[in-house]
Structure 1
Amino acid sequence: MGSLDLLWGGLEAALTPTNLMYAAIGVLLGTFVGVLPGIGPAMAVALLLPVTFGLDATPAFIMFAGIYYGGMYGGSTTSILLNTPGESASVMTAIEGNKMAKKGRAAQALATAAIGSFVAGTIGTLLVVFFAPPLARIAVEIGAPSYLAVTLMAMVLVTSVLGSSRLRGFIGLFLGLTIGLVGLDLNTGQPRLSFGTPQLADRLDIVVVAVGIFALGEALWVAAHLRRRPLEIIPVGRPFMGRDDWRRSWKPWLRGTALGFPFGAIPAGGAETPTFLSYVLERRLARNGDEFGKGAIEGVAGPEAANNASAAGTFVPLLALGLPVTATATIMLAALQGYGINPGPQLMTEHADLVWTLLASLLIGNTLLLVLNLPLAPLWARLLRIPRPYLYAGILFFASLGAYAANQEAFDLFLLLVFGLIGLAMRRFAVPVLPLILGVILGPLMESKLREALAISDGSPSGLVNEPLAVVVYLIIALLLLAPLVTRRLRPRTPAPVTTPTEPTDDRQKVDR
């Protein structure tokens, strides 16, 4: 029986009225929990996991799929409206989406995020259906040198979004790399930058860092300038996307999907790198590149599509290999095992009905998410009509709640304040926030893959380039570094205009007059 026939059987099982009801409940619950600042899809799924207890496996996983996609969309909502990413993969959405919201285009940002999520999630799920077994075999063959090369490429590409000052951008990047070093050394077990504090022995939670830098830093910055600037209510603007918004969004949706799915299908990948790469790619390809950093809709459409395509791709290693790539996939693996199901190469033969019903429910949950939340985009945007003191007071409350919920430790509230003050200082001295977040996320991954590659090659540097994919990526990095220098050399120099002493300049003529 072919994949289409199996998928059709899964759709027939998932499209019963009872299962549709569970899918709708899951989407609504996931959205309303995920919309709380600091609570991403992983935490939303973990908090709502007990809701599925007592159900049979099929309706439980149909509801689970709705919670998963609903939590992801809720995280993008907080990123756009409140500049508070619920997870590291939503950081890029916050950069342009919140700028759009402040310009009265929150509804358009939410709409392109919802439609992009639907497009990427649908295409990604179909790719899982047709290509899960071969993609799983390819993913296993990708080693540490290739991972290291890709992370280095992300570090190089981020220079295109560092702002006007490269020096300030690299300051932010090295701050992030330093923060990423906090915790125990994975090889030696020695504490690094922990200052004798037991709570710093573990690596810092990216949710606490992101919420502190973005939400608390933004709130403190606004509070510091309330006396100088009159209170203003941000306009909501038009409720739906216009023709120009559609024209500028559909290509980023497809490009983000193409970038995100392979990273999700690779064990130990994740959505952070493709969202960064998608943002950089859209900035380079945009005709109106000057709009980036001020609210470019391409900067929301591309990363959101990459995020959701990567989320769909995580089902490849989860179902085919039993390897959870993300925190959310880990929780889903625990749920599968709770029903006595062990993912792996034999899963699609031993539990074919459940697997294909789960994949069909992903398509249904993705569609319900669009149908239910697209009309709600103007309603969510009206949150910005709340006066800013009350709005930011609520942000501080929910940000503190989200930071505490990450590990249930009061020490995280102190860290939240520290990172909030760092975020305030970065805004004061115009140091971009994005490189810091990039360093925190990719720094530990780059370090672990570097050590793994060197350990495999007994310390020989040749072990860093012993994979074809790594060589290709390093060539791309070299081109990215050399291209600006070559173009600068080849650019013809325009001679400066020569002014003769007998001809007065325009300024002198004005003075004479």
Structure 2
Amino acid sequence: MVELFSNLALGFQVALSPINLLLCLIGALVGTLVGVLPGVGTVATVAMLLPITFGLPPVGALIMLAGIYYGAQYGGSTTSILINIPGEATSVVTTLDGFQMAKQGRAGPALAIAAIGSFFAGCVATVLIAMLGAPLTQLAQKFGPAEYFSLMVLGLIFAVVLAKGSLLKAIAMIVMGLLLSMVGSDVITGASRMAFDIPELADGLGFATVAMGVFGFAEIIRNLDAGADIDRELVQQKITGLMPTKQDLIESAPAILRGTMLGSILGILPGGGAVIASFAAYTFEKKIARDPSRFGRGAIEGVAAPESANNAAAQTSFIPLLTLGIPPNAVMALMVGAMTLHGIVPGPQVMQKQPELVWGMIASMWIGNLMLLVINLPLVGIWVRLLRVPYRLMFPAIVIFCAIGIYSINNSPLDVVLAGAFGLLGYWLIKHDFEPAPLLLGMVLGPLMEENLRRALLISRGDASVFFTRPLSAGLMAAAALLLVLAVLPSLRKKRREVFGESEN
């Protein structure tokens, strides 16, 4: 316990430096803006801002990117409540009751409860990160190449099970991601493979290039195709009485607690934790409610639970990233990309070798959550005005910004062309119900998986049974196999369809 407090003291010392405070505020503001503007996703934004982090100190860069991620969870609720348009996938379920409350003239209490629930969940999740960080790191030190490979297999299986839609399509996306990660040079021999004698591909496909194409450009094409301009009359909603009543607080407090607990657990699991958490929390509240018919008609618990759950999950997803170096979702995969760009190898060694980086980032989450609570409510009027900017003006600016960002990484025009090609591929995937997030996860974990697989086989002199004879590795492989079997069972497949079917309404 003493060690925990001394680590947190070090973290606050780092996070409270003027430059880190400024970067935390920028991250929180940009994140909120991203959450508010429909069609500009967190993954696309973090991918766009990766090049900017080159010139920043590593701690500051990660604090800013983390702020964008959890800030977007706050922002997404604003449009869900005001105009029935979720800014983020994690806020889809908030529209069900939030917008009904707005129509009843209670947008103020709905926004306030969403902000309070998010703040409380964020604080609890940050405490969990601080408490679980050190023990998990000690466990991770017992891991050899075989255990790491098995853990990554389990992570990818989780991503398959929790992915939306068809299991086969999710597996196909992961395999495609693994194949893309192999382009370039062999990790051990350095021999060229799948580069087709193109000099720019000798070092492999740029992670930011693929992410920006598959998420950024593809999302823009999809929104333009859908003609995603917002109904002007909805935006004129009047926001009355910002503060929730005492009754509102009494009704929403248990929902906030339950949502925080559910989100904290689901955030640690690989594969869209925050999205799953918000749906699970809403479904749970509806199941245990005395009068389930209130839900969908303006029940305040229908706002409090999912908003708390998605914020808790967004922050606990940092636990596997910081302790094991395994990204549980697409945004965390981008965080790995950012760490790699700064020469940091994510995993158990980071906590020992660079404690100021990890604890500074953890402490910044408390500060960031406080900033978000203070800045969110007064800015509601500004966000509503921003929503009136037509998409036809907004998107060209985003495309230019993306192109400049990609070009600035390697000063390579080919990277911009590749991002455009991946944008078309991403759009095709979205149109045919393929979820692109597992592809990104496969691409990030590919080199690590290959390296650990080959190291394990070298140590065991080619004996593949090493993955099943070492207790930890065997346990992880058994868990992965069990998950895959469960996912194929008809009852669970029906359950997955129900969850995601509700999400698409």
Which TM-score tier does this pair reach, normalised by the shorter chain? 0.5 to 0.7
Over 3 Å counting, the alpha-carbon distance change for 1:462 and 1:11 in structure 2 is closer
Deviation digits for residues 187-207 of structure 1 (CA, Å, limit 9, x no counterpart): 232222212211111132322
Per the alignment, do residues 148 and 5 of structure 1 end up closer, same or farther by CA in structure 2, a change over 3 Å counting? closer
Contact kept, 8 Å, 1:183 with 1:192, in 2: the verdict is yes
Deviations 1:324-350 (A, max 9, x none): x9565568888xxxxxxx9997x89xx
Change (3 A) 1:68 1:427: closer
Q: Which moved more, 1:197-206 or 1:414-423?
A: 197-206
AA of the residue aligned to 1:3? E
The counterpart of 1:251, out of the listed 236, 261, 270, is 261
Q: How many equivalent pairs are there?
A: 414
Among 102, 120, 125, which residue is 2:130 paired with?
A: 125
Cα distance in structure 2, aligned partners of 1:367 and 1:344: 19
TM-score, normalised with respect to structure 1? 0.64
Quote the Cα distance in structure 2 between the aligned partners of 1:235 and 1:398. Answer: 27
Matches of 1:170 and 1:360, distance apart in 2: 35
User: Shift of residue 146 of structure 1?
Assistant: 1.4
- Report the residue type matching 2:375 in the other structure: L
2:301 is the counterpart of 1:300:
no
Distance 1:395 1:112 in 2: 31
- Indicate the residue corresponding to 2:3 in structure 1: 3
Give the alignment partner of residue 426 of structure 1, picking from 425, 429, 438: 429
Structure 1 residue 403: deviation in Å? 2.3
The match for 1:73 is: 67
Q: Which residue of 24, 28, 42 corresponds with 1:27?
A: 24
Native 8 Å contact 1:113 1:304 kept in 2: no
Asked if the contact 2:74–2:311 (Cα under 8 Å) also holds between the matched residues in 1, the reply is no
Q: Deviations over 1:121-179 (max 9, x none)?
A: 34323555xx4xx7655433201111111222223223334444334333333332322
Cα deviation for residue 460 of structure 1 reads 0.6
Deviation string 1:93-126 (CA, Å, 9 cap, x unpaired) is 9972375699888978888776655433343235
1:373 corresponds in structure 2 to 372
Give the counterpart of 1:97 among 86, 90, 97.
Answer: 90
TM-score (normalizing by structure 2): 0.65
Structure 2 gaps of 5+ residues are 35-43, 77-85, 100-109, 287-302, 326-334, 495-505
The CA distance in 2 between the partners of 1:446 and 1:205, in whole Å, is 18
2: CA distance between counterparts of 1:447 and 1:240? 54
DSSP-derived class of the 2:465 partner: helix
Equivalents in 1 of 2:358, 2:166: separation in Å?
A: 46
- Between structure 1 and structure 2, the one with the greater Rg is 1
* Residue matched to 1:320: none
- TM-align CA RMSD: 4.8
What amino acid maps onto 1:288 in structure 2? T
Structure 2 match to 1:47: 55
CA distance in 1, matches of 2:419, 2:467: 37
Please state how far the C-alpha of 1:419 moved relative to its aligned partner: 0.6
Whether 1:209 aligns to 2:204 is no
Q: Which residue of 2 aligns with 1:276?
A: 271
Question: Is 1:455 the equivalent of 2:458?
Answer: yes
Distance 1:413 1:73, change over 3 A: same
Deviation of 1:415 after TM superposition, in Å, equals 1.3
- C-alpha distance in structure 1 between counterparts of 2:182 and 2:87, whole Å: 25
Which letter does structure 1 place at the counterpart of 2:177? G
CA 1:302–1:203 in structure 2 vs 1: closer, same or farther (change >3 Å)? Answer: farther
Q: What whole-Å deviation, never above 9, does each CA across 1:454-493 have from its counterpart, x for those lacking one? A: 111111111222322211112212322333667769x9xx
CA distance, structure 1, for counterparts of residue 446 and residue 243 of structure 2 = 39
Q: Give the aligned partner of residue 406 of structure 2.
A: 403
- Aligned with 1:309 (options 300, 303, 319): 319
Cα distance, 1:101–1:412 mapped onto 2, change above 3 Å: farther
Give the Cα separation in 1 of the matches to 2:72 and 2:491.
Answer: 41
CA distance in 1, matches of 2:226, 2:215: 17
- 1:283·1:299 contact (CA, 8 Å) conserved in 2? yes
Shift of 1:25: 3.0
- SS of 1:196 mapped into structure 2: coil
Gaps of 5+ in 1: 50-63, 83-92, 260-273, 316-324, 335-341, 349-354, 492-513
Map 1:139-218 to 2 at 5 A: 139-218=140-219
The one-letter code of the counterpart of 2:56 is: L
Contact 1:256–1:305 at 8 Å: present in 2 too?
no
Cα distance in structure 2, aligned partners of 1:214 and 1:369: 25
Conserved? CA contact 2:155–2:270, under 8 Å = no
Q: After TM superposition, give the deviation of residue 69 of structure 1 in Å.
A: 2.3
AA at the equivalent of 1:37 = T
Structure 1 position 436 matched with structure 2 position 439: yes
In structure 2, C-alpha distance between the alignment counterparts of 1:327 and 1:166, rounded to whole Å: 27
Residues 389, 309 of structure 1: CA spacing in aligned structure 2 closer, same or farther, 3 A cutoff?
Answer: same
Distance 1:195 1:13, change over 3 A: closer
**Residue of 389, 393, 414 corresponding to 2:417:** 414
Amino acid at match of 2:409: A
Partner of 2:448: 445
C-alpha distance in structure 1 between counterparts of 2:474 and 2:324, whole Å:
25
> Structure 1 stretch 215-224 or stretch 150-159: which is displaced more?
150-159
Instruction: Map Cα deviations across residues 75-106 of structure 1 (whole Å, 9 max, x no partner).
Output: 45569979xxxxxxxxxx99723756998889
The change in CA–CA distance for 1:160 and 1:343 in structure 2 (over 3 A counts) is closer
What is the aligned counterpart of 2:45 among 27, 37, 43?
A: 37
- The separation in 1 between residues aligned to 2:115 and 2:194, in whole angstroms, is 39
Change (3 A) 1:297 1:418: farther
Report if the CA contact (8 A) 1:205-1:406 is conserved: no
Is the 1:275–1:306 contact (alpha carbons within 8 Å) kept by the matching residues of 2? no
- Per the alignment, do residues 284 and 420 of structure 1 end up closer, same or farther by CA in structure 2, a change over 3 Å counting? same
